[in-house]
Structures are given as structure tokens and as C-alpha cells.
Amino acid sequence: MVRITEDLVRRRAEHNNCEIFSLEEISLHQQEIEKLEYLDKWCRDLKILYLQNNLIPKIERKCSPLTVNLLTPIGHGENNTENVSKLKKLEYLNVALNNIERIENLEGCEELKKLDLTANFIGELSSVESLKHNIHLKELFLTGNPCTEFEGYRQFVVATLHQLQYLDSKEIERSERIKALQDYPEVKQKIREQEQVYLLKRAREKEEAERRMQEKKDKKQKQMESKLGFDSPDSPQERENHQAEGDGEQETCRTVEDDEEDRRFWEEPTPYTPESRLETHRYIEEKRRAKDNTRESKKSEKPPWTLVTAEGKVLNVNVPKYLDTSLLDVDVQPTYIRVLVKGKPFQFVLPEEVKPDSSSAKRSQTTGHLAVTMPKAKEITLAKQKVSASVKHSDCDTLQKNARRSGKVEKLEVDPSKYSFPDVTKIIQEKERTGQGPIKLQPEKITEVKKSCVDFENDEDVPPLI
């Protein structure tokens, strides 16, 4: 049973900065609520309340020790009234898609202007007379209730509630109200007779629902007894062999049985009653809980991590990234390194032996990377490099000796046909750059005069030839 808690109300009051004492509107729809409590104490200024698509069966005023009150806090006295009737400033109440069968105990909502009871199970149409005290009520929604199928339903509601302006989203005209008042005695008598027929039908439906519930309980009890009385093999060896062979078959059979049960449940025709709606909800909740339990059991039955094989070979194991440093436990060994994170190992085999005592682990404060410094246990000597160095040294000695004998200095020669180097100076050619501004701002061109003739005279008044 889902109950209203202060945490739920605060989470639903995000638009009011999670403050509930000054809350004027709250939506508690689709929460599978069966019990309302403490709303009148936490949200005294509430004006709009959404409770559609829940499992509220009725609006009770008092709670007796032998009955379950769905709108009274547990532990309170018998004379305590339910929460909704104490909301004096409430203007809009939406309780559509619930299991309400009677309109009652809303007289305390003095400012109530709009009431939505769509798709409930209201069959006592005469219960709308309790809304006469809500003088500000302007809109009422009863679509989807059994009472809407009664003959004279609309005339009865219009004649009973004089303050009403809209019924099921349709405006009540003055002529319609006058007609309804004229025929009120006859319509009222018809409504009473139809109510009696409906109440008898509901009594039979309740008995049928109780009988079905009892049959299902007996069937489950027999199944449990048959499972407990199952004769298993006597010897431990036979029991282990039977369990090993039947694990896969048992899982398959369980899945097939669940599918068959689901098919029977959803294909079985049932009347649309509060009991069937509640039964459907219980069945879905039971299936969901069973899946969660199966998932949890599978998690708990995970095999232990294999870090070292039976032959003594160390394996590489990875873990997730982006974890807190306090969850890390680093263990450096000569041939491998192991990091435990919340019990999950990360293991890496090292290509060479290291010194565990001289190793250190640090984590970056900016990137979060874990850096482990591990000095090698011994230095690696490269024999090939030493041999090549000695060969080069002997070659140099021989070359020097030959140069001394010949008296000439040998130089390194490169064959230009095998090695060609580009001319870097000619990669980018110089271009004459001139300004694009006015003529006065352009730089003057300097022309070199080649004295090819002796009689050449440089006259500055004559423009140069281009």
C-alpha cells in the first residue's frame, strides 16, 4: 500500500522550491495511492489537488477500530475527519480513475468550484445531494460512472444541484433546468429504483470477487504444500547430481509456467468492478516484485572473481572508471599489480619484475588518473648495442690508420643520384608587392639604369618607359 509521505510531497513540490507549508497546487497522480494522510496538516493553503489514476476506494470521514479508513492518518482517534474535508481553500479536486463508489464528505471544502470524478464506480446517484452544501461548485464530471447509464441521470443532477453550471463539460441552459425541476419528482423515483437494482448487482459482484479470491488463495496454498512435500533423493551425491542436471530444466519450466499464468490471467473475462481493478493491480505488483527478487538472487549468486588460474597464471581483470579514491586499494607484487574497487578487482600482469617496496601510487587531482610508479628489479643490458659500438670503434681505428698511411684526409661522399635534397630557397618565389591605395601612397618604383650607351642622359622630366 502506497501512502503519502512528506518526502513524496516535497518531491512533487519542485515548482514551489520544495516548500509545502505555502503550497497551493500539487499533483499526486499515478502513485498507486490507497491512503491519504497529513495533507490538511502540511498543505493548509492547497487550492488544486490532482489525485487521478490511483486506488482510492472511498472518502470516509471517521475511522473506527474495525474498519480501514483510507483518508485518516493511522494512530488518530475515531472522531478525526479525513484530510480532504479540512482543505477549506480547495477549489479543484481531481479524483478521476479511482475506485470511488459514493460521493460523500466534501462539505468541508467550502471553496470547491470544480470536481472531477470521471471513470469511477459511482452507482448511488442520489449521493450527489451531499454537494448541495458546496455553494461555489460550478463544474462536475461524472462521465464513465455506472450512474450515467441511469434513465434521467442528467435531469436529476441538474435539478438537485442548483449552483451547477456545467455537467460533463456541457453547459446547463436555463430551459433545461426549468424542465428538470418540473419533472424532478418522477425522475427521482426512477433513479431510486435503478439504484436498488444496481446495489443488488454490486452485492453479487462482491460475493463473486470474494469467492474468486478465496479460490486463488486455496490454490496457492496447495501449490506450496505440494512443493514442500516433494520427495527428493536421499543421498547427498544423488541430490547434487539431480540439482546439477535439473537447474536448466527448472528455469525453463518456471518461465513456461509464468507465461501460461499470464496468458490465463489476461484472457479470463472479468467484470469491470473495483475488485477486479484492484486485483489486476495486485497481480502486476506481484509479478514485478518476483522479477526484482529473481534479479537480486542472480546478482547474489555471481561466481567469485578468478584472478589466478589453477596452473598459477595471473589474469588481467578490468573495472569501471571514474571512482572515488577512498574506494581504491592498490597492491603491487613483483609480477603483477592489483587494484580493488568496492571489492571488484582490476589486475594487470607486468612484463618485467618490479620492486614493490619502492613503488608509489598517486592520483591526479585534475584528471583523476591513477599513476603507479614501479621501479624495475634489475636493469636490462642490451648485448647487441655493445657489440655494434665495439665494431664501430674498430672501424674508426682502421680508417684512421689508413688515412695516416696515405697522408690524405678521407671525406664522406654522397651520391647525388641516390640522395636529392630540394632547394629550400626556391620554394617560395618573391613577388613584387605594391599597395592598392591611392597613387600618392604607392611606393615609388626604383628602376636601374644600365649605361649601354655613352650618350645616355637621364632627364627627370621625361617619364620612364614601361
Residue whose cell numbers read 515548482:
15
Long-range contacts of 370-377 (CB under 8 A, 24+ apart): 370/328, 370/330, 370/339, 372/330, 372/332, 372/337, 374/332, 374/337, 374/350, 376/352, 377/334, 377/352, 377/353
Separation between Cα atoms, residue 274 and residue 209, nearest integer Å: 10
Fill in the amino acid letter for 149.
E
Q: Is the CB of residue 86 less than 8 Å from the CB of residue 41? A: no
Backbone angles phi, psi at 76, to 5 degrees: -90, 165
N-terminal to C-terminal alpha carbon distance within the chain:
103
Name the H helices within 183-338: 184-228, 236-267, 274-300
Separation between Cα atoms, residue 72 and residue 32, nearest integer Å: 17
Q: Is the CB of residue 158 less than 8 Å from the CB of residue 164? A: yes
Separation between Cα atoms, residue 70 and residue 56, nearest integer Å: 7
- The predicted model scores a pTM of 0.55
Separation between Cα atoms, residue 97 and residue 318, nearest integer Å: 50
- Average pLDDT along the chain, 466 residues, taken 10 residues at a time: 78 81 86 78 87 84 42 38 75 92 89 94 93 94 94 95 94 94 94 94 90 84 70 49 53 68 78 85 84 73 70 64 71 85 78 85 74 77 47 55 54 51 61 52 51 64 74
Which of these, 29, 36, 185, 225, lies nearest to 119 by C-alpha position?
29
For the chain, the maximum distance between any two Cα atoms, rounded to a whole number of angstroms, is 145
Task: State CA 87 to chain mean position distance.
Answer: 34
Sheet containing 336-341: which strands, arranged edge to edge?
Answer: 328-332, 336-341, 344-349
Name the H helices within 301-406: 383-406
Residue 26: strand pairing partners: 49
Separation between Cα atoms, residue 90 and residue 86, nearest integer Å: 9
Pairing between β-strand 336-341 and β-strand 328-332 as defined by DSSP bridges: antiparallel
Which of these, 81, 73, 125, 85, lies nearest to 102 by C-alpha position?
125
Query: Given this model, what pLDDT does residue 68 score?
Result: 38
